[in-house]
Amino acid sequence: MRKSTPIFVLLLLCAGFAQAQQDPMFTKYMFNSLVFNPGYAGSKDHMTLGLLHRTQWYGIEGAPSTQSFTIHTPLPNERVGVGFHAISDEIGPTRTLTANLSYAYRIPMGPGKLSVGLQGGVMNWSADWTKITTLEQDEAFNDPNPSKWLPNFGVGLYYYTKSFYVGLASPKLIEYDLRDNPITTDIWSKQYRHFFFSAGGAIPLKGESLIFKPSLLVKNVGLLSKLSKDAAFTGIGAPTEVDIDLSLLFYQALWVGASFRTAVEAFVGNTSSVSSANVWASYFLANGLRVGAAYDYPLTKIGTVTPGSFELMVGYEFNYNTKRAVTPRYF
């Protein structure tokens, strides 16, 4: 008898918000922007690395657990930036491991720079179906331990100045069929193309000692689904996710913020629901070390079975020997 996994109850509770949403979400997305936009590589004008762990829906067996590692830097040719990121994302009986190399070419434009980014890499998708119980024979589970290596590539644009930024990217352009063999069902598991739009600003409220930093991240799945050759999939796609964040940076060291995550569809036709209210904090030490944490309070029915989600982050800025007041960077 296969072991029953409570994650499927979880998915039923959250289906209205999570349908086909495959790329992991992060509350502190501004600290690992490279994972969704290769144009971000080298944009800090010094080497930067970061580690982030996210436990989603704490206390629920099989809930998502995600870890990311990013490192990026400009090259001696100041117009070129390169980076690398890796992600481990586990939910229920499935796991994805992703590794990507990024290249960005930065073009001076007006008061800022336009960065055109490319990335290439590979993802390993695997599952252990022995962890679940099926009520009847299902041909989709004939192979108890499927594993697929899926190469992919992505593109991104990132324009930034000292006071604001805007980005648009699709980190995985190729959509893959995750079936092992042809099956007779009308729809089946696929990897979908995701699109990310980001924007933010830095508004001094008290010189460099107090900076107000609003930001926005929009994630869409299935934007171009009507171009799919499989007619059965043209109506499949997750709600358009929106993260709205408001934060304050004190003395270029203590950064605290609050954010709100919802879906556009929650306000248009009431076909979805709001997701969470979040708080976070980060601190930059004088030696270049950066630490932080975030907490998500669920606003959906999932809140009846979990206290929420949390993230832990540590990073390092290799410009610690540069006086921050000379060339402060906010993004």
CATH number for the domain spanning 103: value is 2.40.160.40
Average pLDDT over residues 171-179: 81
pLDDT at 143: 72
Q: Is residue 329 part of a domain?
A: no
Which amino acid, residue 160?
Y
Place of tokens 């590589």: 41
Residue 297 pLDDT > 50, yes or no?
yes
* CA atoms of 290 and 314, how far apart (whole Å): 6
Q: Is residue 47 part of a domain?
A: yes
Model pLDDT for residues 16-30, shown as the tens digit of each residue: 333 345 677 788 888
Nearest residue to 168 via CA among 114, 212, 120: 114
**Pair 318, 301: CB distance under 8 Å:** no
Q: Is residue 322 part of a domain?
A: no
Q: Which long-range contacts (CB under 8 A, 24 or more apart) does 228-236 make?
A: 228/175, 232/186, 232/187, 233/187, 233/190, 236/19, 236/20, 236/187, 236/192
Q: Is residue 290 part of a domain?
A: yes
**Pair 37, 103: CB distance under 8 Å:** no
Q: Which of 137-151, 227-241, 254-268, 307-321 has the highest mean pLDDT?
A: 307-321
Q: Is residue 331 part of a domain?
A: no
Please report which confidence band the pLDDT of residue 233 belongs to, taking 50, 70 and 90 as the band edges. Answer: low
Average pLDDT, the chain: 81
* CA atoms of 52 and 73, how far apart (whole Å): 18
What is the number of structural domains in the chain?
1
Q: What is the pTM of this model?
A: 0.84
pLDDT at 31: 86
Please report which confidence band the pLDDT of residue 327 belongs to, taking 50, 70 and 90 as the band edges. Answer: very low
Model pLDDT for residues 93-126, shown as the tens digit of each residue: 889 999 999 999 999 999 999 999 999 999 998 8
Q: Is residue 125 part of a domain?
A: yes
R_g of the chain, CA atoms, integer Å: 20
Please report which confidence band the pLDDT of residue 174 belongs to, taking 50, 70 and 90 as the band edges. Answer: confident
pLDDT at 17: 36
Q: Is residue 126 part of a domain?
A: yes
Q: What is the DSSP secondary structure assignment for residue 276, as one 8-state letter?
A: E
Please state which of the ranges 57-61, 221-225, 244-248, 286-290 shows the lowest mean pLDDT. Answer: 221-225
Give the domain extent around 286: 7-317
Q: Is residue 327 part of a domain?
A: no
Average pLDDT over residues 65-86: 94
